[in-house]
Structure 1
């Protein structure tokens, strides 16, 4: 082998290895060439190949590379020429050839080679078919074969064991064991026994995918892209009939066909497999349209693509726009194709001639019985039809039960024949309106002739207008009063119910829109008030537009109704007196005007109410719950019979004339107004309007002076004693709170800041006590400031003296805060009476060796040494010491041992007990 051939072969192997590892070798050689001369030593060259590519060359290979790239023969390699040879894809100096044809690519991944074991042509064809099926399966499911085996390939060598290949084989499931064995033989690595090169398999599948894409680019495709799918997509009459059946079933049942297909189309490409399309179509309209398998197959063949998949989106678009055209607002001249007459009606199932003859005999016999017995059959069937909006079908079992209940008994065979004839093709139930129309000649169900519009029924526009008296006897004022009452009590915005019908704000709408708005307002049979045709005609005649006969001036109606809230343009007339809203409230329809009744009726009513009121007050009966049990709608009304039942339950008996007078007073069209009756029977005092009174009390409270201060210190010594006691007990550093307000450390702060700092220390000083401190420590030359350093030094003197290091002979006396009860002073006479009382108590305690602490401690839950005054008296009673003291002496004890706990006067029982033990001459803490 010549040196050039050996060099090309070696470079080819290095190029394959570099492309497999995705390495640019130039970047690694440059680390050894600091001056970028393009030359490195031979040791650096071979070391770089070993470190980057893991390539260890023998002596002969090193000699081949040294001969080619060490052309100066000085032991330095021209690595730039070597890198250009390895990295280049084509020769830029050879312009005679296409650069795409000069590209040098690695034949295999990872430097491996295919097996040298040859396969037969038959086996190669089988492997090619398997690879094609695998490519389709992986492309549809989004499977990457390389990622399936990467977990087993820890060193990224592109090979796995045979068992790992079987274990992670991703399919497709129709690949047999023999075909997998052929794949194993095909991609076995000859250099590594027991291993398979899965990357070569992945590379072949990717190559098949690229080949298919190129074929699609070369093959012209003709897609059906129209604005909308026409109603007759093909000239095949059989296919048109199938589409008509599907279209009618979709329209009648309101089926959204896309919902049955889009779950199979994860990428929303509009294309699914044939099996998925068949399943979705059968599930969507298979039962409703009575589609057979050949009919479904015909639809599949029409929408099948070249790759075997089906375009379901085009089919769904045609079904969704069966009797409509999308974007019809942009095509005003487009004619919409409507279904033929009777196409959407429920048709009866055809029978054979013999079955039709027998059916006629059975129906004629049943029709004779219905005519003779005068049966109204439709209502019996309708009671079993409790679906939404009446499905007009019943089950065969219900159909047989109804016929048996009506004594229209037929044989089992005839029953099967009836169910078969009147069976609904979609649900399998019985179409009872069609059956009733066949046997009951007086019943007229829906027929095709009902859709005809009679020309005689149309209104003649040129006909003369009818007057109010000819239309109805309804009073316009009474009707408007009722509408105003409804709007006022329900707080309705009339404008919102009509303005959507008037987008141009012209102030007029059509009569149909006006009635529709009244219905939304609650003026309908299902609303608050039933607006009859007479009422509607009265409103139409009153608000007729003078310019357009078919229009109504709804803004005038709005103005007349909403005057119950306020008057328009009120800002122009500030002195106008708005009428109270109570004048617009009217009683319910049917209420009797009691003021115009006779005196006899009024006297009977008053006597009856006085007697019932007296009996109710004597028996103290709860009357309202009894009426509420009958008022299921909570509208404050019951029927007249229910009213009499309630009076009987309450034992409020009344004669027939008295009952008639009560009903005349409280009855209306809704029923008996028991709330008004109970208000007359049990009148309650109206609650006074206390808002203004409370405002006046609040104003007087705010205007009053400050409350008097209690338990205040009258001099500076008392105030400082309170401060020092608080600081000594709670160990407060007053200086820390004061210096935050003295940023410049001048030793003084403002009086307002001084007060704020005292509040933060929680000294709870009164206003007068703070004033005493401000006067004492007022800064010289600054009347609005306080010398807080001097104040803090006086407070801190309870612990030590300032600058004690300058007075080493000074004796420091620790400040001991006095007990609070020791500060309580008594008058001389009270002090002598207190001493005599304590002597009597101590004498009895000494004789009986009594324990005082345990009973007091039972009441001292927080263990602060105090109990309340009532608890102190209770303990003395339990110890049988209360008989030794009178009420005046008890008060002296309270005052002597009084302490303030949370603003409340308590008794320090520890000081009391210790004083008693000291007078009884007990040893310390004994007992």
Structure 2
């Protein structure tokens, strides 16, 4: 017994640690058992427990493990047997046992242990009664003991001190000091002095609550004989009549009677005072059920207690379960009592005999007027009924207004009589369906009885359905499959996705109901693209029926027959087979006429009609499609026949009746008139040209052309370097930064292709010949495919400073100044004198009149770059009255001399022009 207790204690401690850390010990032992033999050595067993659970075995525990799990006697420990016990011995393959019975829940939580000090039998009984009392108190008040102590348990160890336990104990208040001492003695932690294990107390209370719930469920189980009605209904006939009125009013108006009483019952005891019950009942159903004071008092007398209070809960249970049974899902064999036929309908108010006779005369007069004028009265009343789901009543004022609108004039006294007869007793409004049914013999309202229905030839007897067969199909199998293939092709559907979920074993066969369901998902239903009838479905079932199982269909055969629109099966085995084009599987709309079977007279009439309409359409340049689209609300390319005739009339394309019949026979189907096909014949569009091959040929010819001649290219090295230095000086860039990335070894050399690429990155915009000049000048001596880019960079950066200037401190450095672009413009020698004479004429007039040139030029220079266009230059000179001194040839010379390139466009540098004019006029700089 001692060895059994020791091994059980060892198992419990290991199991508690494993569940605390959420660890499955089996997975760690398998790392030492590569062959999955189920055995490990003793040191491996101890090492695994130490590494995973932090549990170091004592010599006594090692001997205990070896004694119980060394089944072979060779020192090998059978860890699988140990893991089955630790992992709660749950076997997923054992279907004979309940999984809940296979688990061994640990009594402790988070590694805590209970005290081993036993209590006396009397104290144990007192403790159980105390825990039951505490559980009932906590359940009623919604108290959770665990949350009361979590603020003190900062490390979530499940323990608090005794003072903290006393301080935060949530009750109940009638627990004495002796009971608290008993709880402290029971739940004191034996390993941690001064601490109490409140988590074990919490779990014991939860376990007692679960036991109470199971006992209550056992008592209220469906196997026990329980009365279907919660409360006995009284036998008094008058009281039963009152209750029936209340139940009907509650059911019709959807009243929750409990809501009118529970505000008076703060403790939810089910009992309130008599005055509170009377007020709640009158407020809930007093008006709807037409209850008098005496009837309410009779209900109060029935549910009154000896102390004068009323048990409203029993009354509400009967009213809330009107025409149903509570917890009906647990009692499927119970018969629900349905309301009497006509009990839920609105009854008419009874009148005296004289008044009833007068009502009949009024109704007969109105009925004759309605029948003679063929009035439909119900829609007029319904327009005023704007309540949710139609309340089927209107106000008396609206009732009189509608009668006056329909010219059914009634005397005021007769109108009051009608209102009293058809008045709703609950709301005071008028029941217009009953009135319409009384005066209109053709109107069938919802308040008519079966007797009236049988008089009109209508009965509720169900019609016996005749089972459909394959012969009931109105189309053949080939036509049906062509329609299905067309739907699959046009919508690009994957047929297998709609059936394979019903065939988890991939047997290729499913039941007929599943086959029908898959067809519906595919779109072959009333809500889909094709309404498949029962006969068509039976036809498919007969064709694809499984010969081995009559209640199943071979959906894979159907799949291959349909998906032939995309490809052929097993195409990889016969690569030379010719796959038919997809266009042959496109089927016309159902109901389309086969034009091949039409008569010659019909075809000739159609051709003559289309020729005449096409001729008139071309002459008048009619845009016909928008007219048809205005009638095509669903955008399906179809309109009705009457709409087609109306469209032709609007377009002034008139046809005779035989011509119209010929057109309708050609383009009509079950959907309507296919106006898109008609317009394609009436106004055919030119087919789009496929220009892909043409564009490829143009590109090929373009690439074969010779290189275009270079414009404004420098012919010598000095000109190229000047162009580069000017660009570098103006944009303040370092060429070396763009070059060194292509020289990883810093050898000072780089490939000519890389040199070209670096120049492109610098955006020098050099021509091909200019780059070649630079390559020839800085070509490497060692390898002709390389360029000494460092020499090029030193030459370019010499515009800023001289290299190694620190070694020559007395050398004078000359700053590079980029020349103005217009200064490099050289006029021919024979034009120099003409240009000089033009400038002198302009300067002479400017000097005489002291004219300002800059302001007008600056008005056109929006970006302030010192340039204007040639047209703007001429316009400014004209505004300054200088244009008369300059001929067209002189303008050409001025443009050529002061020309600058701005964005590839030739502009005029007006600043240089003005400075030259001022200089010739002997003005100070910028001061005429």
Q: Tell me the TM-score range normalised by the shorter chain.
A: 0.5 to 0.7
The one of 333, 344, 347 equivalent to 1:346 is 344
Contact 1:494 1:521 (8 Å CA) reproduced: no
Give 1:91-240 correspondences, 5 Å limit: 232-235=229-232, 237=234
Picking from 394, 419, 422, the partner of 1:419 is: 422
Match of 1:195 in 2: none
> Once the two structures are superposed, what CA deviation does each residue of 1:402-455 show, in whole Å capped at 9, x if it has no partner?
7885969793454345434xx4969977383798499959959686899x9999
* CA distance, structure 1, for counterparts of residue 550 and residue 371 of structure 2: 49
Counterparts in 2 of 1:844 and 1:368: CA distance versus 1, 3 Å? closer
- The residue number in structure 2 matching 1:609 is 610
Q: Deviations over 1:667-694 (max 9, x none)?
A: 3444433333333332221221234444
Aligned to 1:521: 523
**Aligned partners of 1:739, 1:252: CA distance in 2, in Å?**
92
Cα separation, partners in 2 of 1:739 and 1:448, compared to 1, 3 Å? same
Structure 1 pair 281–542 and aligned structure 2 pair: CA distance change class (3 A): farther
Greater mean deviation of Cα atoms: 277-286 or 340-349: 277-286
CA change 1:792–1:629 in 2 (3 A) is: closer
Alignment of 1:556-595 (within 5 A): 559-595=560-596
Where do 5+ consecutive residues of structure 2 fail to align?
A: 1-140, 143-166, 181-207
Shift of 1:863: 1.7
CA shift, 1:639, in A, is 3.6
- Distance change >3 Å, CA 665–CA 885, structure 1 → 2: farther
| Cα separation, 2, equivalents of 1:575 and 1:338 | 72
CA–CA distance in structure 1, aligned partners of residues 435 and 278 of structure 2: 34
- Cα 1:661/1:279, change in 2 over 3 Å: farther
> Alpha carbon RMSD of aligned pairs, Å?
6.4
* 2:829 aligned residue: 831
Q: For residues 540-559 of structure 1, what are the structure 2 equivalents within 5 Å?
A: 559=560
Superposed CA offset, 1:41-61 (max 9, x none)? xxxxxxxxxxxxxxxxxxxxx
1:471-870 correspondence runs (5 A): 471=472, 473-492=474-493, 507-510=509-512, 514=516, 518=520, 521=523, 523-524=525-526, 528-531=529-532, 538=539, 559-695=560-696, 697=698, 710-734=711-735, 761-766=762-767, 769-770=770-771, 772-773=773-774, 776-777=777-778, 790-826=791-827, 830-840=828-838, 842-847=840-845, 849=848, 852-870=853-871
**Residues 486, 539 of structure 1: CA spacing in aligned structure 2 closer, same or farther, 3 A cutoff?**
same
Residues 637 and 673, structure 1, Cα contact 8 Å, conserved in 2 = yes
Q: Structure 2 vs 1, CA of residues 522 and 841 (structure 1 numbering), >3 Å: closer, same or farther?
A: farther
Q: Give the SS at the match of 1:811.
A: coil
Deviation at 1:514, TM superposition (A): 2.5
How far is 1:832 from its partner? 1.4
Distance 1:291 1:570, change over 3 A: farther
Offset from partner CA, 1:697-725 (integer Å, 9 cap, x none): 55666788877654444443233222322
Q: Is the 8 A contact 2:394 2:430 kept in 1?
A: yes
Instruction: Report the alpha carbon displacement of residue 772 of structure 1 after superposing the two structures with TM.
Output: 4.8
Looking at structure 1, the residues matched to 902 and 445 of structure 2 have their Cα atoms a distance apart, in angstroms, of 94
Structure 1 match to 2:394: 395
Q: Is the 8 A contact 1:394 1:429 kept in 2?
A: yes
Deviations for 1:511-532, whole angstroms, at most 9, x for unmatched residues?
A: 59837953882642x6555555
* Contact 2:842-2:885 at 8 Å conserved across structures: no
Q: How many residues align?
A: 701
Cα distance in structure 1, aligned partners of 2:893 and 2:685: 53
SS at match of 2:229: coil
Change (3 A) 1:907 1:425: same
For 2:279 and 2:694, the matched residues in 1 are separated by 80
Q: Which moved more, 1:423-432 or 1:316-325?
A: 316-325
Counterparts in 2 of 1:890 and 1:704: CA distance versus 1, 3 Å = same
1:882, distance to aligned residue in structure 2 (A): 6.4
TM-score (norm 1): 0.58
Q: How far 1:819 moved relative to its partner?
A: 1.3
SS at match of 1:810: coil
Task: Measure, in 1, the Cα distance between the counterparts of 2:911 and 2:903.
Answer: 19
- Contact kept? 1:523, 1:530, Cα under 8 Å: yes
Preserved contact between residue 231 and residue 322 of structure 1 (Cα < 8 Å)? no
1:220-273 deviation per Cα after TM superposition (whole angstroms, max 9, x unaligned) = 999976579985223455999999999988987889999x89x99xxxx99999
**1 CA distance for matches of 2:766 and 2:490?**
59
Aligned-pair CA distance for 1:395: 2.9
Question: Any idea what SS the aligned residue of 2:907 has?
Answer: strand
Residue 378 of structure 2 is matched in structure 1 by 381
Distance in 1 (CA, whole Å) between partners of 2:701 and 2:284 is: 80
CA contact (8 A) 1:367 1:440 kept: no
The answer to whether the Cα contact below 8 Å between 1:511 and 1:540 also exists between their aligned partners in 2 is no
Distance in 2 between the 1:296 and 1:549 partners?
Answer: 70
Q: Please state whether the residue corresponding to 1:587 is helix, strand or coil.
A: coil
Deviations 1:15-40 (A, max 9, x none): xxxxxxxxxxxxxxxxxxxxxxxxxx
Q: Distance in 1 between matches of 2:439 and 2:228?
A: 35
- On the 8 A contact 1:508/1:555 being kept in 2, the answer is no
How big is each residue's C-alpha offset from its partner over 1:365-410, in whole Å with a ceiling of 9 and x where there is no partner?
9589969987999974367557899758343557677788596979
Give CA deviations for 1:502-560 in whole Å, capped at 9, x if unaligned. Answer: 78877444559837953882642x65555556655655655566677776666655554
Q: Secondary structure at the match of 1:906?
A: strand
Q: More deviation in 222-231 or 801-810?
A: 222-231
Kindly indicate whether the alpha-carbon contact (under 8 Å) linking 1:234 and 1:240 is maintained by their aligned counterparts in 2: no
C-alpha change, 1:734 and 1:627, in structure 2 (3 Å) is closer
Partner residue, 2:902: 901
**Is the 1:366–1:408 contact (alpha carbons within 8 Å) kept by the matching residues of 2?**
no
Contact 2:378/2:436, CA 8 A, preserved across alignment:
no
What's the TM-score once normalised by structure 2's chain length?
0.58
Asked if structure 2 preserves the Cα contact closer than 8 Å seen for 1:378 and 1:433, the reply is no
Could you tell me how far apart the structure 2 residues matched to 1:611 and 1:488 are? Answer: 37
Assess, with a 3 A threshold, how the Cα gap between structure 1 residues 657 and 695 changes in structure 2: closer, same or farther.
Answer: same
Please tell me whether the aligned partners of residues 355 and 417 of structure 1 are also in contact (alpha carbons under 8 angstroms).
no
> Residues of 1 paired with 2:488 and 2:387: CA distance?
32
Q: Which residue of 1 aligns with 2:85?
A: none
